[in-house]
């Protein structure tokens, strides 16, 4: 088996962040896109929704292949399609075309989820939590940093420039990964159809996996509702553009660096306690947001808390599901991450509706409800077991 060196581990972390950033470049740009195409805030939110739905489908149909097809072959095909989708978005002549190309950007940007189980597979058991945490740190920094980059580039050079820039970044990254990423040849010998069927088998037979998937979906729904509507809050209540909205990602990046710490804690501390503490952080963050519609300081505090809570919950969920079924880590991760991003898509949609009808109060109440549901379902499950 290939040894997981620190150089390879941090390359996977960096790559995860750069690829997953493709999903979130659009969020600080939604206001510009709406003006460009002459559509409402609710209509333009379909760009973010389509991207996340595409990601969920990519997780379902691409990531299980990690247990069957050599990772370098997946890499080659996926990057080719990803670059085409980014170019299509950059040259879109209508909102409908942008929504369609955004779906394929999301579909092909599922690739980082191959790196997380790969890190778990190549790590020694005592270091597994740390390795997952480091890869997740990169992924989460990519999610948050993407908003900073796109906010600045969008305001200075226009939203299309961001998609052209992403195309160039992906072309360079593909070359680096082609030469530096370890080659893995999985042992699953069944058909692609049987591979997909086995994904549902793990979902049906693993109650801890189903619970982790539900926790993940609800937590990411909270986060997506926040980031989708933040640009509208900044414009309406504070008069700021996409650059300031994107800068809020820097605050979350500080919390994302804590992902590696949470990963180490998962090797030493009760996962049940981490889940409860993380969920309480989410609840507190939304209480802060609720009273901070006109307070930048409150929004700042809330951003740090909501990102830290979600990241701690996410990494703990993955540590739990990767502790079982080592031969099927990609398929198990597929179950979890499909649920995770379906939750994100739901949060995006509900967040846009809450903003349209009840503004920031509606978004904050939505976040509180989703956060409270995490705690409720977790407590009910742990009492039954």
- Predicted confidence at residue 130, as pLDDT, reads 79
**Distances from the Cα of 148 to the Cαs of 84, 115, 243, in angstroms?**
24, 24, 7
10 Å CB burial of residue 21 (0-12, 13-18, 19+) is buried
- Predicted confidence at residue 2, as pLDDT, reads 61
Q: Is the pLDDT of residue 266 over 70?
A: no
For 59, the token pair is: 């997780």
Q: Is 98 helix (H, G, I), strand (E, B) or coil?
A: helix
Q: Is the pLDDT of residue 226 over 80?
A: yes
Q: Is the pLDDT of residue 1 over 60?
A: no
Q: What is the pTM of this model?
A: 0.77
- Predicted confidence at residue 168, as pLDDT, reads 97
- Count of residues making up the chain: 385
Q: Express each pLDDT in 203-224 by its tens digit.
A: 999 999 999 999 999 999 999 8
Can you identify the CATH homologous superfamily of domain 8-181+191-384? MFS general substrate transporter like domains (1.20.1250.20)
**Distances from the Cα of 247 to the Cαs of 101, 149, 152, 158, 253, in angstroms?**
26, 8, 8, 17, 10
Q: Given pLDDT bands bounded at 50, 70 and 90, which one contains residue 19?
A: very high
Backbone angles phi, psi at 94, to 5 degrees: -150, 160
Could you please report the per-residue DSSP string of 174-235? HHHHHHHSPP------S-HHHHHHHHHHHHHH-HHHHHHHHHHHHHHHHHHHHHHHHHHHII
| Mean of pLDDT over the chain | 88
Q: Answer with the residue of higher pLDDT: 248 or 34.
A: 34
Q: Can you count the helices (H) and strands (E) in the chain? A: 15, 0
Domain extents in the chain: 8-181+191-384
Dihedral (Cα; 57, 60, 63, 64), 10-degree rounding:
-160
Residues 223, 307 contacting (CB under 8 angstroms): yes
Q: Given pLDDT bands bounded at 50, 70 and 90, which one contains residue 260?
A: low
For 42, the token pair is: 């609710």
């Amino acid at each position: 088996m290939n040894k997981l060196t620190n150089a390879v581990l941090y390359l996977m972390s960096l790559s995860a962040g750069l690829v997953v950033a493709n999903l979130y470049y659009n969020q600080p740009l939604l206001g510009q896109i709406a003006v460009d195409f002459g559509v409402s805030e609710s209509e333009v939110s379909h760009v973010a929704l389509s991207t996340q739905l595409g990601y969920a489908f990519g997780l379902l149909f691409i990531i299980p292949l990690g247990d069957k097809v050599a990772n370098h072959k997946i890499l080659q095909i996926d990057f080719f399609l990803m670059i085409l989708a980014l170019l299509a978005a950059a040259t879109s002549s209508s909102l409908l075309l942008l929504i369609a190309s955004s779906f394929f950007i999301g579909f092909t940007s599922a690739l980082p989820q191959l790196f997380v189980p790969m890190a778990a597979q190549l790590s020694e058991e005592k270091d597994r939590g740390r390795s997952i945490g480091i890869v997740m740190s990169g992924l989460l920094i990519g999610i948050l940093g993407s908003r900073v980059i796109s906010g600045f580039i969008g305001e200075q050079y226009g939203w299309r420039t961001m998609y052209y820039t992403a195309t160039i970044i992906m072309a360079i990254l593909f070359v680096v990964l082609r030469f530096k990423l370890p080659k893995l040849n999985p042992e699953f010998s069944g058909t692609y159809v049987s591979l997909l069927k086995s994904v549902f088998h793990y979902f049906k037979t693993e109650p801890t996996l189903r619970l982790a998937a539900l926790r993940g979906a609800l937590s990411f729904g909270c986060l997506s509702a926040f980031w989708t509507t933040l640009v509208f809050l900044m414009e309406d209540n504070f008069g700021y553009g996409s650059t300031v909205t994107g800068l809020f990602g820097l605050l979350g990046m500080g919390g994302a660096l804590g992902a590696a710490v949470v990963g180490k804690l998962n090797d030493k501390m009760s996962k049940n306690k981490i889940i409860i503490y993380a969920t309480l952080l989410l609840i507190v963050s939304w209480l802060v947001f609720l009273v901070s519609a006109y307070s930048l300081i409150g929004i700042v505090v809330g951003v740090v808390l909501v990102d830290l809570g979600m990241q701690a919950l996410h990494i703990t969920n993955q540590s739990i599901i990767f502790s079982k079924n080592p031969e099927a880590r990609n398929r198990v991760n597929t179950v979890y991450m499909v649920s995770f991003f379906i939750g994100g898509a739901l949060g995006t949609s509900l967040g846009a509706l809450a903003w349209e009808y009840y503004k920031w109060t509606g978004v904050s109440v939505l976040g509180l409800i989703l956060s409270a549901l995490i705690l409720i379902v977790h407590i009910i499950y742990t009492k039954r077991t």
